[in-house]
Structure 1
Amino acid sequence: MVIEAFADTIIPGEKRTPDDRAIAGVDSDGGSVAAGAVELLELPAGGLAPALESIAVSLNIHAEDYARDRGLSLDTDVPPFVALPFTDRTALVQQLTQPDHPEKQLWVGLALFCNMAYDSAPHLHTAEAIAAGHPGLLAMRYATPGADGLWRFPDFSYGRQLADLHPNTTTTGSPS
């Protein structure tokens, strides 16, 4: 729940249910949680999976300190970071990612994974992510593959031809 709340702070999304506490619901579209940020973070390849529980504990300690310093009363039914209002979650994450914060690398790294999940869905096959309605790829209007599952850009991906074909290029696009 804490890692979900962090991911939702990075790229907010809509609540999954009316009583969802991890997702603040400040946006009406899917955010990084809906894009699979937690699933991406849990993959062994990223290197953060074994540390997620410790990261959540640390984030909660920071949230408690933040709330105490501001005289905020936190709901004890949920973890401290989750209990923070969205504006305070955002302010805390801004503090944690400041250039002079001693743990900046950890929090920036965690934020980058949340962005990656939304921007590129590296934990999913792109065609399947698009077909399933991945919120980030849809928001960016990522091109859909052809019926054969391949991407082709007959009208040039930049909207214009960038260079003439090399005279030795074959009909399949390979240089000879």
Structure 2
Amino acid sequence: MIYLLAGWMARLMGRSFWLIAFSLASDIIFARTAQFAMPDVFVALFSTAGVVSYLLGRRWLSGVLWGAAFASKFTALFPFLGFFLYLALRDRRSLVPVVVAAGLAFVAAHAVDIANGLFLFHMQYYWWLVTFHSSKNPFGGGSCCLPARRGTSTIPSSCTTGRLW
């Protein structure tokens, strides 16, 4: 359906079919992704409407819709990636700066999530070192042993004998 709409618009506006299809499909795929919250879906719809209004020559309406998308959520930069690529592919000299800028904007929008993920990874690694490799661990005694099985309160014999697993 999206490709038929993009093809009709491409013939109507005299633009390249595949560039418009890629631009619109990237926003629609974002809107259908289940892992994002509901405001992100509205942001993607605002972004798609902004692309359509821009292609139809209504640049003032496109600016209003983009403003609504940015006001909805800061991570609205991600749905614009398809439109940025569309603009970049028209002039191949500007492809690298636009792609780099879109990547930096995505990383900046998710910097807190990335930092939390790295922090949690290091904390889990530290917990693993302390739990299974520490000589002060009363259960492991410095050996690499598995924890006790579910439903049992006894320590596995491999932990008390010092054998590896």
Q: Which has the higher contact order (CA 8 A, sep 6+)?
A: 1
TM above 0.5: no
Q: TM-score, normalised by structure 1?
A: 0.27
Q: TM-score, normalised by structure 2?
A: 0.29
Say which structure is richer in helix. Answer: 2
Between Structure 1 and Structure 2, whose CA radius of gyration is higher?
Answer: 2
